[in-house]
Structure 1
Amino acid sequence: MHSRRDFLQKLTASAITLPFLPKATSLDEFYSKPYDGPVLRVAIMGLGGYGTRVAEAMQSSKMAKLVGVISGTPSKIKDWQSKYKIPEKNCYNYENFDQIKNNADIDAVYVITPNALHHDQVIRVAKAGKHVICEKPMAINAKEGQEMVDACKKANVKLLVGYRMHFEPHTLEIVRMRKAGELGKITFFQGLSGFKIGDPSQWRMNKQLAGGGSMMDIGIYAINGSRYMVGEEPIWVTAQETKTDPQKFKEGVDETITFQLGFPGGAVASCLSSYNINNLDRFFLTGDNGFAELFPATGYGPIKGRTHKGELNQPIVTHQTVQMDEMAAIILQGKQPIVPVDGEEGLKDLKIIDAIYAAVKSGKKENLKL
């Protein structure tokens, strides 16, 4: 049995460098010294496989602390209370978590539930006056995503999306090289994201919960990656769907989609998202003067890469630890990440996903306005 969590299962070791943590030039320096600055107190909503991974990684965070849980499963709440020393007053279920508005010990909620639940849950958290971190995809379509962005703005709370790769050192080195002109004029990006999914009864194979299939789950990495690797927003998309097993992949649950993106500077992207092809996790970026490749590109680690200058030797990081410390700095100190992780960033990906599904149906080029 395989799932995305199996596909991305290798949790990595501590890192050495990181661009944004306050008053530190390296993770070694940051984590070796006492920290007495502000701490983001986080409740996790959704105590499944990835919620567990985030919770474990947060034990090494200095600027973010797990202080609460929200779950529909009482036994999980009890287990987490015991393991992470979470007080009873910081435990909620899906019916009563609006009451976090009265809990001064919780600053933010990390929503890690099935895609179709994000919209209502994020809006409820915002109305309760708490900052929100939402797993990707932020919603199941751009309309819902816009409503989430608007709700958080109205409530004057931050909305961030769980784009852990935006803080990954190999990724950021390629972004740096591209920005510095070391690759020359960018001409092409390839993003391959996929694996063979197992249990057909899991929520990711349920259109009502997932909002789609492989595109919503794993294809979003190639979509998002194309944007921060090329350094522009795409202006058109074309797409084609292949379905070899309609019994397993029901109506509305895409098995494999290939899609192409065009960028204003002339670069093009060729990408693939699949729930039925293994050994796909590769980004390739090329320009007039050089290239960069990540393979694996988005797994939990270790990320590996090379460029026309040789192998990339950036530190190996525990992505979720770095992500939570960086997001704490964004929320508490107004830090500006190199690659955005806010709700507007998530909304752009949703607009592209909407256009990809439209292009599959129409067979035509769909224009994008992000």
Structure 2
Amino acid sequence: MLQENPYVPAVAETTPDDAGCDTSRRQFINHAGRGLLAVGVAGALPVAAAKAAKAPDATPPPATGPLDIKLPPLEAPTDPKGAEPFNPDAPERRVGYALVGLGHLTLNEILPAFGQCKHAKPVALVSGDPEKMRKVAQQYGIKPSSCYSYQTYDQLKDNPEVEVIYIVLPNSMHHEFTIRGAKAGKHILCEKPMANSAKECEEMIAACKKAGKKLMIAYRIQYEPLNRMVQKAVRDKTYGRTKMIQMMNTQNQAHDQQWRHKKALAGGGSLPDVGLYCLNTTRFLLGEEPTEVSAQIYTTPGDDRFKEIEENVSFTLRFPSGVISQCMTGYGSFNNKSYTVYAETGSIEMDPAFPYHGLRQERTHAPGGKQMKEVPNDPQKDQFALEMDHMAECVRQNKTPYTPGEEGLQDQRIMEAIYQSARENKPVKLPAVSKLDAFRGEAPKDEEA
């Protein structure tokens, strides 16, 4: 008579109550290492098969709470800590997004970023190019019934899968599609700049408030880990008080008739497009609002790209604490996206600071009188995934986004003052704002690298 192996039935007799405590991969490896599974396996197979046939279903029921999984560390405490498990929400619990506009940013950055999202997923598309939209829908598994034109955009109200509309359109279209989206009963994530005028921004905020929906502006730098490290160092006075900041954001635009060269669509030239990073990031780092701006504009004569919009803008921001931020932006010079914070006992440089990938930070200080440089590790988080997940959490937890419509409105008001200063060739005073982070909502929770 065959002798039953005492170790094999322990796996075969698993019940639903024991499913969560079934032999783990680590236990299996440990047992195998001691030779416990190498005893009489052939003789035990008929017994195990018979018992498995009459055993109840051992499939674990769906999880009802958070799906966070913890694993033991692989490295010693003296080594850099490895990444934790990704731990996304189950697909049915993620917030559904409709993407409006299928240009470079959506196709190259935003849609791929959903693969790094924990709380958000794409469920609908809106485009004026039905053939391109059909292909994109197939790539990302979006149903044909969830594809809309700009004319049928309002029908999003009848799609319960869509909770947030992400507007990725030329600047002049943000106003219309935000208001229509709010009327359709959806929360709005809108690309920057928020609109072409402060009046449009105010109307967008009012429309979302009337509909009881959240409005967030996609200031991805305020969610990116390395830039958040700089903010913390500035706020904590790691190197003493900040004295000066220098910001640069330039790029050489293609010689074509893209919408960014049309004032009616873009609202302006380099200032609202790339100069906005200098303005918004300075405000983000300090938490203060400028009390005065002064600016100069120069455009190369005869360059067809700049018939309607400005090429170069240099502007200075003065803050209540005494900090002076010198910002330069342009559309006709080689790519440079960097900034440096100068404090009492050290400086922090981000170069590059504003691209979608490959950011780098360097800190210079002199502890004990000996100058040294430090380069923090880049956590390499996807900036678009971080901002979309933040919006999703705000929807689920009913929180005000960290960068709400009021943050976009403040930038628009300051940009209008910058244009005024350049026209009048004199500084322009701004209303005093004493509160720190006056236009921001609840800060995102920083994840460990």
Match of 1:144 in 2: 200
Report the alpha carbon displacement of residue 34 of structure 1 after superposing the two structures with TM: 6.3
Q: Give, in whole Å, the separation in 2 of the partners of 1:137 and 1:27.
A: 37
Q: Which moved more, 1:51-60 or 1:259-268?
A: 51-60
Uncovered stretches (5+) of structure 1, i.e. residues with no partner: 1-20
Which residue number in structure 2 is paired with residue 9 of structure 1? none
Aligned ranges for residues 1-370 of structure 1 at < 5 Å?
28-29=83-84, 31-32=86-87, 35=90, 38-52=93-107, 53-308=109-364, 310-334=374-398, 340-369=402-431
Counterpart of 1:48 in structure 2: which amino acid? G
Read off the aligned partner of 1:325 and give its amino acid letter. D
Letter in 2 for 1:359: S
Please, what TM-score do these two structures have when normalized by structure 2? Answer: 0.73
CA distance in 2, matches of 1:46, 1:139: 16
Taking the aligned partners of 1:217 and 1:164, their CA distance within structure 2 comes to 14
Contact conserved, 2:255 with 2:305, CA < 8 A, in 1?
no
Q: Secondary structure at the match of 1:140?
A: coil
Deviation at 1:247, TM superposition (A): 3.4
Which segment drifts farther, 122-131 or 283-292?
A: 283-292
* Structure with greater contact order relative to length (CA < 8 Å, sep ≥ 6): 1
Distance of 1:231 and 1:56 partners within structure 2:
32
Query: Post-superposition shift, 1:317?
Result: 2.0
Give 1:29 deviation, angstroms: 2.8
Following superposition, the deviation at residue 74 of structure 1 comes to: 0.7
The number of equivalent residue pairs is: 348
AA of the residue aligned to 1:348: Q
In structure 1, C-alpha distance between the alignment counterparts of 2:308 and 2:67, rounded to whole Å:
45
Give the partner amino acid of 2:413.
Answer: K
**1:293-341 deviation digits (Å, cap 9, x = unpaired):** 100001112110112352122312221122222221122224577xx31
Residues 87-96 or 252-261, more deviating: 87-96
- Tell me the CA shift for residue 252 of structure 1: 4.0
Distance 2:310 2:342 in 1: 29
* Aligned-pair CA distance for 1:180: 1.4
Tell me: CA distance 1:36–1:55, structure 2 relative to 1, closer, same or farther (3 Å). Answer: closer
Q: Distance in 2 between matches of 1:193 and 1:98?
A: 37
CA contact (8 A) 1:22 1:329 kept: no
Shift of 1:289: 2.8
Structure 2 counterpart SS, 1:298: coil
Query: What's the offset of the Cα at 1:27?
Result: 10
Change (3 A) 1:215 1:30: farther
Conservation of the 8 A alpha-carbon contact between 2:94 and 2:121: yes
Q: Distance in 1 between matches of 2:324 and 2:387?
A: 29
Structure 2, unaligned runs of 5 or more: 1-65, 71-80, 366-373, 434-449
RMSD (Å), alpha carbons? 2.2
Corresponding letter in the other structure for 1:303: L
Question: Equivalents in 1 of 2:322, 2:89: separation in Å?
Answer: 49
Mean Cα displacement is larger for which, 129-138 or 22-31? 22-31
> Structure 1 residues 231, 183: CA separation in 2 closer, same or farther (over 3 Å shift)?
farther
Contact 2:67 2:88 in 1 (8 A): no
Tell whether the 8 Å contact from 2:359 to 2:378 is kept in structure 1 after alignment: no
Deviation per residue, 1:177-218 (Å, 9 max, x gap): 112121322211111001111133001111111111111111
- The answer to whether the 8 A contact 2:91-2:121 is kept is no
Deviation at 1:56, TM superposition (A): 1.1
Q: CA, structure 1 residues 253+30, in 2 after alignment: closer, same or farther (shift >3 Å)? A: farther
Task: Supply the AA of the counterpart residue of 1:315.
Answer: P
Percent of residue pairs identical: 34
Q: Is 1:37–1:63's contact at 8 Å kept on the other side of the alignment?
A: no
Whole-angstrom distance in 2 between the partners of 1:38 and 1:83: 22
Distance apart, 1:35 and its partner CA: 4.6
